[in-house]
């Protein structure tokens, strides 16, 4: 039996609930500033990340949490905040059906923009590949597994995944986030860790993508990225139901709690240390970098160890080499989108946003640069990619630090000029 969603406006009880939660006739300065901070951080990380002089603190990695790794979760967290606000604002005005259709259109647009900016990551090299079903199938499989998932595509699809729950209560959305994290751990133990890292697995055999690695969690990483988006919706509820002053402490508490949880879970990586005292071998063959059981920890290896040897390195500190610790699911790994990474990054986003509330909403301070990029985040993202590609043509990978800084300044200035022009022309692209 099918259920149709009415196009009529929501009931009076729903409308009144929306009215109670939605701030009227004012922008939330701290969120515009925080979104602008994420955009500027993205400029720094994307431009400097490929240069040899850049410190690992500003580079993405697959082994530990760096400041660079905090930017994408911050962006998605901010999108969750805006997503909840946008839906609650539209529901009383245009009804549930038109609201959902509008979100689906916007999400599709983000997906297509991502494809236009970054391409498919693959190509059909011969006419026979195009005219045979196997060639097309392999092309699509590679796109869906790995190549599609840049940040705009991730945001677009995560909005669709979160949409059925966006009107749920805070407790229900928190439960959904917990279920998504648990689900990601479960499918990672089943097949997804091997699928993302390109190790032998049945799904790759079926899809014809054997040996291909994925970025940022791949297709099933959307389960992980939906967690910071849901966290953003919860923070919107907190902001809309309390004064800014009464929001800061709960946000700091939740943020610190999530960071502590993420770090404690990451300590499971120490069970994969290569030690003579191990009760269970952590790898099946000498020289193999991946653990034999990367998701289900070898709990027996706790025996005989001092408690301090079971503590992982703190965030921002690289772990030992793969000769000393085998690669596993429990490290803070952005590429696999592990839950230790997602929880710590989401907590870090909460703490950073609490600081923006203190400085902007309570302290009255704000940056014009953050404000402009925060209010025009999509335009800035789209423009920065082409400008970066242009400027990087004159900034070699082995550039000294002073020239790398000059390149960053040039790239940022050109991007600023473009976005500023769009703003003056009242051309806005919203996430």
pLDDT digits (tens, 9 = 90+) for 25-50: 457 899 999 999 999 999 999 999 98
255-302 residue pLDDT tens: 999 999 999 999 999 999 999 999 999 998 878 999 999 999 999 999
The two tokens of residue 121 are 């990551």
Residue 72: pLDDT above 50?
yes
Boundaries of domain holding 244: 24-424
Residue 5: pLDDT above 50?
no
Strand, coil or helix: 148:
coil
Q: How many CA atoms lie within 13 A of 429 on its CB side?
A: 17
What's the rounded mean pLDDT across residues 205-216? 90
290-303 residue pLDDT tens: 999 999 999 999 99
Domain membership flag for residue 168: yes
Domain membership flag for residue 6: no
What are the DSSP calls for 364-416, one per residue? ----HHHHHHHHTHHHHHHHHHHHHHHHHTTS-TT--HHHHHHHHHHHHHHHH
**Tokens 């009880």 found at:** 13
Structural element, H or E, at residue 156: helix 151-162
139-166 residue pLDDT tens: 888 889 988 899 999 999 999 999 999 9
- Mean per-residue pLDDT of the chain: 90
CA pseudo-torsion sign 253, 258, 264, 270? negative
Residues across the chain: 431
Instruction: Determine what percent of the chain is predicted with pLDDT higher than 70.
Output: 92
Domain membership flag for residue 206: yes
Domain membership flag for residue 19: no
End-to-end CA distance of the chain: 35
The two tokens of residue 23 are 């701030």
CA angle 357, 362, 365 (to 5 degrees): 85
d(CA 247, CA 361): 11
Domain membership flag for residue 9: no
pLDDT recorded at residue 405: 96
d(CA 231, CA 166): 11
Predicted TM-score of the model (pTM): 0.90
Domain membership flag for residue 8: no
Give 99's pLDDT tier (boundaries 50, 70, 90): very high
What is the total count of domains within the chain? 1
Give 65's pLDDT tier (boundaries 50, 70, 90): very high
Residue 15: pLDDT above 70?
no
Residue 428: pLDDT above 60?
no
Domain membership flag for residue 430: no
């Amino acid at each position: 039996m099918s259920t149709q969603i009415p196009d009529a406006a929501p009931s009076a009880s729903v409308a009144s609930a929306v009215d109670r939660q939605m701030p009227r006739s004012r922008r939330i300065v701290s969120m515009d500033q925080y979104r602008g901070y994420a955009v500027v951080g993205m400029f720094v990380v994307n431009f400097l990340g490929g240069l040899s002089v850049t410190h690992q603190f500003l580079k993405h990695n697959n082994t530990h949490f760096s400041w660079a790794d905090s930017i994408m979760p911050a962006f998605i967290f901010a999108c969750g905040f805006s997503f909840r606000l946008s839906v609650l604002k539209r529901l009383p005005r245009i009804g549930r059906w038109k609201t959902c259709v509008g979100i689906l259109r916007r999400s599709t647009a983000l997906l297509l923009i991502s494809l236009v900016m970054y391409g498919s990551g693959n190509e059909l090299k011969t006419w026979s590949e195009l005219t045979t079903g196997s060639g097309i199938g392999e092309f699509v499989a590679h796109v869906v597994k790995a190549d599609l998932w840049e940040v705009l595509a991730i945001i677009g699809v995560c909005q669709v995944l979160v949409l059925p729950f966006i009107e749920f209560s805070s407790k229900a959305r928190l439960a959904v986030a917990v279920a998504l994290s648990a689900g990601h751990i479960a499918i990672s133990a089943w097949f997804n860790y091997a699928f993302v890292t390109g190790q032998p697995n049945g799904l790759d055999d079926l899809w014809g993508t054997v040996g291909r690695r994925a970025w940022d969690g791949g297709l099933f990483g959307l389960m992980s990225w939906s967690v910071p988006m849901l966290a953003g919706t919860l923070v919107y509820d907190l902001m809309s139901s309390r004064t800014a002053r009464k929001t800061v402490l709960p946000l700091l508490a939740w943020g610190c709690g999530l960071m502590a949880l993420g770090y404690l879970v990451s300590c499971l990586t120490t069970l994969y240390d290569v030690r003579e005292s191990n009760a269970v071998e952590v790898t099946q063959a000498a020289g193999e970098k991946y653990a034999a059981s990367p998701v289900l920890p070898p709990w027996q290896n706790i025996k005989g160890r001092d408690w301090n040897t079971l503590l992982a390195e703190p965030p921002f500190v690289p772990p030992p080499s793969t000769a000393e610790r085998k690669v596993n699911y429990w490290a803070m790994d952005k590429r696999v989108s592990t839950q230790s990474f997602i929880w710590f990054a989401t907590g870090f986003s909460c703490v950073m946003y609490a600081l923006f509330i203190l400085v902007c909403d309570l302290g009255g301070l704000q940056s014009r640069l953050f404000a402009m990029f925060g209010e025009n985040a999509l335009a800035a993202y789209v423009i920065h990619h082409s400008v970066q590609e242009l400027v990087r043509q004159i900034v070699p990978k082995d550039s000294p630090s002073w020239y790398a800084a000059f390149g960053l300044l040039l790239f940022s200035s050109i991007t600023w000029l473009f976005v500023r022009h769009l703003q003056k022309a009242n051309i806005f692209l919203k996430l």
